[in-house]
Structure 1
């Protein structure tokens, strides 16, 4: 029967630390310390995996909800586009472009009764809006086809409609920045609009500020003859910056081409910075757990000095002694890392069940919709993050075993057995 190498067998036995009853209490204490070290590493690894997964999910969910309302690429000009149909056809023939639609954008004030709200005014072409956004699928009342040129109907975000107390068929007043010159001076331009639809994108910022009109109605209010820009959708949102650069080189210099990553650069940069800082902070938890591993191995070396001396007198080399304690430390580090990865994956993959259960038990709300971009805690587990955390934890465990194992190799048999 094939047996394990002696250093591996002894190292794994020391991990369990079971010996004669005369020192059972001390060995039991070392077993407890080893278990604490393993648990500390596991909790650190699990915490880091869960936090990274939640932050990945938060970024992905907010990005997807943003891009369900926004476009991948926007082509704009200072005033209005001349022959926008020809320009749209030219853009649509480019590689990776899957949809092009005209737009008019501005700011305004919506009022109803005594309530007034600032809004992001957007003019769209209903027949083509579905090519560049998911807005036609997000209606909770009405339809995008209710936007007819000349009827001055408006589609409101769900939160904006609640703020104004507006429902289907109600009328709201829109004030746009451009004014009319009158004998009394420049007067703001105002128009009464009828609510013909309500959309809910799940993104509070847009649901609380978005007002959509037919682009011809929006252009009439702003005294424009043509759309102020084009919205473009591509087949891969991650390649939008690259495609935007290609379009910028192709189109006249008077047109500005902006992709979604540049439009929301500050937000995405803040999320990336926060993710890096959380990674560094939570890595310290794993580092603390590996410090516990150092103390565990040092205590084990001190208690096993008699055993080490006996093995040295029987011909064991210092290298073999060092490998025994290396194996013990690596076994604890490996068990802690694997347990942490398993626990972290279990929590991260079931965060959509765990968080609502905690909220129901303690009657709290972790993500209020009026404070955060989203109202549910998402999770996006990425293999690269899991491997990075697991390997980093195991690497720190290797470093933690170097000093105790070298100390064990330097034990002198005569000194160790003097008081035995």
Structure 2
């Protein structure tokens, strides 16, 4: 660093933190720093909460959704056991299980509900999803009873049924009889309920593969093979590589293609919330303009003396850059520390508020959560700090340039 800039940093920081300042200017500077603290802390905390919500959503929904699928381009897959054996030998594939699925209408206690009915291999399903761990009553093994069904808790509640009750299912296929053509329907017995505390609880139902093949009239065929890979987040890359080794007429799809729109919506929401909160930081940053403009007006005499002592215009600009960034960095540093602290302890803070207020802020039956989830990501913290510093730097440019344009002769003429 050139020697001339050492004095600029020293003088600029003295302007920022000296107690011998105009009181009104001190108030404006303090408000700017507090605004920066509030904006940075809020942005880090909210982004961490959004990360926590996304992680909760991903973990709960993907407890039922496998990492990937292999489906036929047309029709159903015949001879699926041989295909499943071949798939588990592929790199990155840990397990495979067949499935059949379609949209159906359930009728129970005088209520109709649309649902997604999936037929699964009871033994293999546990290797590709965590649905067995989500069971509240019964187990997947109970599906081995003919024409039995497991429902999500929300779907069961809407239909008014419980384990041991029966309900009717109407499928999107027709049965031709001498009396005419009728929708295919069948009575099923509820043997279990599951809950992942997310949207699938309200529309998902399971039957055994044997029952599903009879209901859907699929014979020995299946709609596809569910896959579990070695890494959920690497599943898109692994399934793309798997596609190269599949026979013609077979397609490999990953979970981002079936559930990706939901997670893209969550990501877009995080970006939009981040931009809105960044406006708070922007307001605080541009309050620095007011602080520096007032400082330039107050320090005109000092600027003139420094210029007559040999200070260059660049050195004067550096003084006010240091002045503005000194205020900004203090606010950003305190705000970042406060934001990290809040994000790390937000669950405890909300729990303390609930005890103090005597209310339940997050009712699990309404929000699917009992506390605010937060997942602090240091890349978010770094991005917030970098964006705040950039805004503060931009806010300091104009006042610093105005200070460098002050003519010392005109100032000293009236001193």
- The reply to whether TM is greater than 0.5 is yes
Indicate the residue corresponding to 2:126 in structure 1. 130
Please tell me whether the aligned partners of residues 80 and 225 of structure 1 are also in contact (alpha carbons under 8 angstroms).
Answer: no
Deviation at 1:356, TM superposition (A): 5.2
Is 1:105–2:101 an aligned residue pair?
yes
Between the aligned partners of 2:354 and 2:169, the Cα distance in structure 1 is 40
Between the aligned partners of 2:180 and 2:369, the Cα distance in structure 1 is 44
Between the aligned partners of 1:410 and 1:322, the Cα distance in structure 2 is 9
Between the aligned partners of 1:141 and 1:283, the Cα distance in structure 2 is 47
Is 1:310–2:311 an aligned residue pair?
no
Between the aligned partners of 2:362 and 2:139, the Cα distance in structure 1 is 33
Q: Per the alignment, in what secondary structure is the counterpart of residue 91 of structure 2?
A: coil
Is 1:145–2:141 an aligned residue pair?
yes
Between the aligned partners of 1:419 and 1:262, the Cα distance in structure 2 is 74
Tell me how many residue pairs correspond in the alignment. 408
Is 1:15–2:11 an aligned residue pair?
no
Could you tell me which of 181, 189, 203 is aligned with 1:209? 203
Is 1:335–2:336 an aligned residue pair?
no
Between the aligned partners of 1:140 and 1:58, the Cα distance in structure 2 is 23
Deviation at 1:34, TM superposition (A): 0.8
Could you tell me which of 231, 234, 238 is aligned with 1:236? 231
Deviation at 1:139, TM superposition (A): 1.0
Indicate the residue corresponding to 1:169 in structure 2. 164
Change (3 A) 1:185 1:373: farther
Could you tell me which of 201, 218, 223 is aligned with 1:224? 218
Deviation at 1:86, TM superposition (A): 0.5
Indicate the residue corresponding to 1:114 in structure 2. 110
| Contiguous gaps of at least 5 residues in structure 2 | none
Between the aligned partners of 2:204 and 2:317, the Cα distance in structure 1 is 68
Please tell me whether the aligned partners of residues 171 and 184 of structure 2 are also in contact (alpha carbons under 8 angstroms).
Answer: yes
Could you tell me which of 23, 32, 49 is aligned with 1:28? 23
| Contiguous gaps of at least 5 residues in structure 1 | none
Between the aligned partners of 1:362 and 1:307, the Cα distance in structure 2 is 58
Give CA deviations for 1:314-360 in whole Å, capped at 9, x if unaligned. 55444443332221111111111112211222222233334455567
TM-score using structure 2 length: 0.90
Is 1:81–2:69 an aligned residue pair?
no
Give runs of aligned pairs for residues 15-414 of structure 1, distance below 5 A.
15-19=16-20, 27-77=22-72, 78-148=74-144, 150-203=145-198, 205-226=199-220, 227-355=222-350, 361=357, 377-414=372-409
Pick which of 400-409 and 382-391 moved more.
400-409
Change (3 A) 1:320 1:107: closer
Between the aligned partners of 2:254 and 2:369, the Cα distance in structure 1 is 23
Deviation at 1:368, TM superposition (A): 7.7
TM-score using structure 1 length: 0.89
Q: Per the alignment, in what secondary structure is the counterpart of residue 335 of structure 1?
A: helix
Between the aligned partners of 2:253 and 2:10, the Cα distance in structure 1 is 63
Please tell me whether the aligned partners of residues 109 and 161 of structure 2 are also in contact (alpha carbons under 8 angstroms).
Answer: no
Give CA deviations for 1:54-80 in whole Å, capped at 9, x if unaligned. 222222221222211011111223443
Between the aligned partners of 1:302 and 1:268, the Cα distance in structure 2 is 52
C-alpha root-mean-square deviation of aligned residues, in Å?
A: 2.5
Between the aligned partners of 1:313 and 1:243, the Cα distance in structure 2 is 69
Between the aligned partners of 1:249 and 1:48, the Cα distance in structure 2 is 43
Please tell me whether the aligned partners of residues 362 and 369 of structure 2 are also in contact (alpha carbons under 8 angstroms).
Answer: no
